Amino acid sequence: MSTAPSTSPTLGCDRAGGPPSDEAPQPDAPVRSPRAWAPLRPLILRLHFYAGVLVAPLLLVAATTGFLYAASFQAEKLVYAHELTVPVGETKLPVSEQVAAAREAHPDGTVSAIRPSPEDDATTRVLLSGVEGVDAGHTLAVFVDPYTGQVRGALEQYGSTGALPLRTWIDEFHRDLHLGDTGRFYSELAASWLWVIAGGGLVLWFSRRRALRKVRGTSGRRRTLGLHGTVGAWAAAGFLFLSATGLTWSAYAGANIDELRTSLGHSTPSVSAAAGEHAGHDGTAASGDTAAGAGLDEVLAAARAKGLGDPVEIVPPADAESAYVVRQVQRSWPEKQDSVAIDPATGEVTDELRFADYPLLAKLTRWGIDLHTGILFGLANQIALMGLALALILLIVWGYRMWWQRGRDSAFGRPLPRGAWQQVPPWILVPLAAGVAVLGYFVPLLGISLAAFIVVDVVLGEIAHRRGRRA
């Protein structure tokens, strides 16, 4: 672990025995008094350096696939234009007739949801579950022309955002490299360390004298460092946001966050799908594809009367004791996430839930995830995400380049010497160690990998010490 690339500003900008020649202070540079946190700088720099050993390759994959995912929303509209759009007609058919047309073309499986055409030129999606050949957890989306009832195609769909095959493939590659639960270690590890590296790099960059941060008029490693630091400083807030929101639905840290939200009473609520007292007693409850009593058209009309505008999703009752659930599915700003439950026997609304009534942390989680995935502000959001991904890729490349340019005989890419923690005063070191321990508990992959860094570093230090004594 004696060499490593940098993934955020100022990696390896100091060396034992004084700064490199291309970073030496000018003769007329004013000497500043040391600050209280100055003993922490070597420790932050060493951690920042070693984090690149593990995280830089993972972040490069995450940034590249994230860039592709942000672009996939617009690509999806082009690739699947035939299924998604139709010529605008005069009058839309009742939803029940559109579902009947979809079932005639695709009788297999069960209707799990219906998304009526949200715009004049958009198709209706009839989602079928349990269809042979469709991955578990996915549905088959049948696209129906709302004016003619013509089925324009069927595609596998995943998730609440309605991702079609192209975006689904990129999404799963970004999330788990198509390796399932095992692959999620990569993305969670990257998200766990991204904020540490970005935050540490930001501290290191702004702790440097202003004269050493400039890019114009520099060359060689100084120029690479200037580009690396400047871009990293501008993008750091975005990296911190991506790291925090990415952890909210990760496997381990995400579970801890959900547990914390639940303990505070801020978990995401859901409308009650229990039907009214008449459901299931007179044979009028809906189940699967058919309904006696209130049908799909009456259910949709009841939801409209409660103010649920497009886009909406209708979920049929799961059994004779359940109600229809109609929910808004707009994740772009302003969010539309209201939902109602409707008794299939009477068509009456039995429960309703407004997004305005969500607990604060539930709202923040919803907004954070939608902003992270490029949905909240549409195209502008996606362009911003692509910019952040490109910035991260450039930072990694510049980090490797600085590592290469720093070569000094056998000290190629050497970080600060060991023992930097011994220079930190106890009144800072003890609370810092306690805070890191607590953080490692709630973000376990960060804690485990950090412990691994320390163990390996101690072992290598002991080996080097013994070799020095023998020499």
What pLDDT score was predicted for residue 28?
A: 43
The residues near 323 (Cβ < 8 Å, ≥ 6 apart) are 272, 273, 274, 275, 276, 279, 317, 341, 342, 343, 344, 350, 351
182 lies in the same domain as 58: yes
- The stretch 350-358 carries a mean pLDDT of 96
- 243 near 372, Cβ under 8 Å? no
Residues 53 and 185 in one domain: yes
Confidence of residue 60 (pLDDT cuts 50, 70, 90): very high
DSSP result, 430-450:
HHHHHHHHHHHHHSHHHHHHH
Residues 45 and 107 in one domain: no
Q: How far, in Å, are 24, 228, 229, 378 from residue 222 at the CA level? A: 10, 10, 10, 38
Question: What does the pLDDT read at residue 39?
Answer: 72
Question: In this structure, what CATH number is given to the domain that contains residue 100?
Answer: 3.10.450
Last residue of a domain, one of 163, 188, 212: 163
State the average pLDDT over residues 116-130.
97
User: In angstroms, rounded to a whole number, what is the distance separating the alpha carbons of residues 364 and 324?
Assistant: 28
Measured over all CA atoms, what is the biggest interatomic distance in the chain, rounded to whole angstroms?
93
- Is the residue at 412 inside a domain? yes
Distance CA 148, CA 89 (A): 8
| Whether residues 183 and 49 fall in one domain | yes
Question: Residues 6 or more apart from 260 whose CB is under 8 A from it?
Answer: none
Q: What is the pLDDT of residue 36?
A: 54
- 452 located within any domain: no
Asked if 62 and 89 sit in the same domain, the reply is no
Domain encompassing residue 186: 39-69+176-262+379-424
Share of the chain above pLDDT 70, in %: 84
Please provide residue 285's backbone torsions phi and psi, each rounded to the nearest 5 degrees: -70, 145
Q: How confident is the model at residue 27 (pLDDT cuts 50, 70, 90)?
A: very low
130 falls within a domain:
yes
pLDDT, tens digit, for every residue of 194-243?
Answer: 999 999 889 888 887 666 677 777 788 888 888 988 999 999 999 999 99
Q: Stretch 322-342: mean pLDDT, rounded?
A: 96
Q: Is the peptide bond before 426 cis (omega within 30 degrees of 0)?
A: no
Which stretch, 24-28, 262-266, 307-311, 459-463, has highest mean pLDDT?
A: 307-311
**Per-residue model confidence (pLDDT) at position 24:** 39
Residue scoring higher pLDDT (303 or 136): 303
Do 43 and 187 lie in one domain? The reply is yes
pLDDT digits (tens, 9 = 90+) for 67-100: 999 999 999 999 999 999 999 999 999 999 999 9
Whether residues 284 and 334 share a domain: the answer is yes
Residue 18, domain member (yes or no): no
**463 inside domain:** no
Shared domain check, 180 and 50: yes
Query: Is residue 140 pLDDT above 70, yes or no?
Result: yes
Statement to judge: residues 348 and 418 lie in one domain: no
Range 255-281 average pLDDT? 82
* pLDDT tens-digit series, residues 415-453: 566 666 777 788 888 888 899 899 999 999 999 998 888
Q: Quick one: 256 and 279 in the same domain?
A: no
pLDDT of residue 459: 85
Which range in 23-27, 254-258, 323-327 is most confidently predicted, on average pLDDT? 323-327
Residues 387 and 408 reside in one and the same domain: yes
Q: Is residue 364 part of a domain?
A: no
> Residue 470 falls within a domain, yes or no?
no
Number of separate domains in the chain: 3
Domain end call among 163, 191, 207 = 163
**Mean pLDDT of the chain, nearest integer:** 85
Q: pLDDT higher for 19 or 189? A: 189
Q: Is residue 394 part of a domain?
A: yes
Kindly state whether residues 151 and 180 are assigned to the same domain. no
Angle between helices 40-79 and 184-206 (to 10 degrees): 130
Give the DSSP letter string of 449-464: HHHHHHHHHHHHHHHH
Domain termination site, one of 128, 163, 198:
163
Helix (H) / strand (E) containing 292:
none
